[in-house]
Amino acid sequence: MHLLPLLLPLFALPTAYSWGAVGHEIVATIAQIHLHQPAQQALQHLLPNSKGHLAPIASWADRLRGLPYYSWSGELHYTSPLGDWPPSKCHFGDEGWKTTHDVLHAISNYTTRLSLDPSDVTSLKFLVHFIGDAHQPLHLTNRDRGGNDDRVRFEGRLMNLHSLWDGGFITKSVREQSNYTEALPSRQIESNLRGTIYDPYIRLLLWEGVRIWWRTSLPSWFICPSPLSLSSLSSSQLILSTAEDGEKLSSVVCPQTWAQETHKITCERTFPPSMGEEGEEHQVPELNTKEYYGPIRDGNIIEKLLVQGGLRLAATLNAIFEPEEDGEGVEGKGLLNFAWLEEAAAEGKQSERRVVELA
């Protein structure tokens, strides 16, 4: 019996909070694969119940926000630039922000907390989740509450626009993924997969995405030309320190740059033109069309966002847990553990023996 039809309903209707459980777990698993040994060892100590794997904690922040004591964390899942009304008005900070109690500051805050106290499991859980959120385009606009107020249809199913981007697209891709059902020639990748229904999708994202589609652009994903300025934070909130460790982290962790890049997708792809301007009535659109979904599918937009989130999360954790005496990356390997590219070539499979080094 094929389990796919039975298991898909479990995540066919994702939450409207963030990527949805599956999206966050994919981001976390991609990160897990690219951790250096010090980060792996630290996580095994911090997360004994999952044997150090990030995926089981990836949606913790979504589950938490519904509890009265943690209601304050709700705003930390998104950011709201003023004057932003995609696609007609695309403003990302040039007119200011509705609040600085947002996902960009949360990433910097919990990065600092974890770097100052590597045993802080709560900060780790928040950080894993919020880096994923920063790569979901509808978390970066306040239009219609990030699309939560916009009803749409996709493959005939009624949902809101936010939920479509959270999990509807991912569900469709996982359901239709027929390749990569067999193990890849990489112990590094396969040992970090968990036997989930989306394992073939992760294999695709790495084997074709990282190895082929985005290999030449990968280094640009880790350039921080404009690290987040946190001068507006109150003195009671932790920010990236000015110490040497803080400077190292600020060169790796740049949520403003990441989100600004993702916001271009928010403007160009998320809200269909048929939704019109503020206050205009519109019909509920079907979005599984060549005009709307075609460019998202053909451009591998969702796939790229998931991989970017995963690799940037891995780079962040590698920087946090890097041994103090080694400032150039663990054993000179750079920000990410890309040994699987060499590993695959050593197995004699078709590969160009090109290891991407991010320093």
Catalytic residue positions, numbered: 19, 24, 62, 65, 77, 129, 133, 139, 162, 166
Q: Locate all alpha helices (DSSP H) within the chain, ordered by sequence.
A: 4-7, 21-33, 37-46, 60-64, 103-116, 121-133, 144-147, 161-163, 169-176, 187-190, 199-204, 244-250, 255-265, 293-298, 301-320, 339-346
Q: How far apart are CA 162 and CA 164, in angstroms?
A: 5
Contact 112, 92 (CB under 8 A): no
Contact 260, 92 (CB under 8 A): yes
In order, the DSSP letters of 85-123 are: BTTTB--SSTT-BS-SSSHHHHHHHHHHHHHH-TT-HHH
For residue 157, the SS3 value is strand
Q: How far apart are CA 302 and CA 165, in angstroms?
A: 8
> Hey, which residues does 160 pair with through a beta bridge?
151
Give the distance between the most distant pair of CA atoms in the chain: 61
Look-up of token digits 């606009």: 141
Residue 323: CB atoms within 10 A of its CB come to 11
Task: Name the DSSP letter for residue 229.
Answer: P
Q: Which of 359, 264, 315, 263 is nearest to 127 (CA)?
A: 315
Look-up of token digits 């652009």: 217
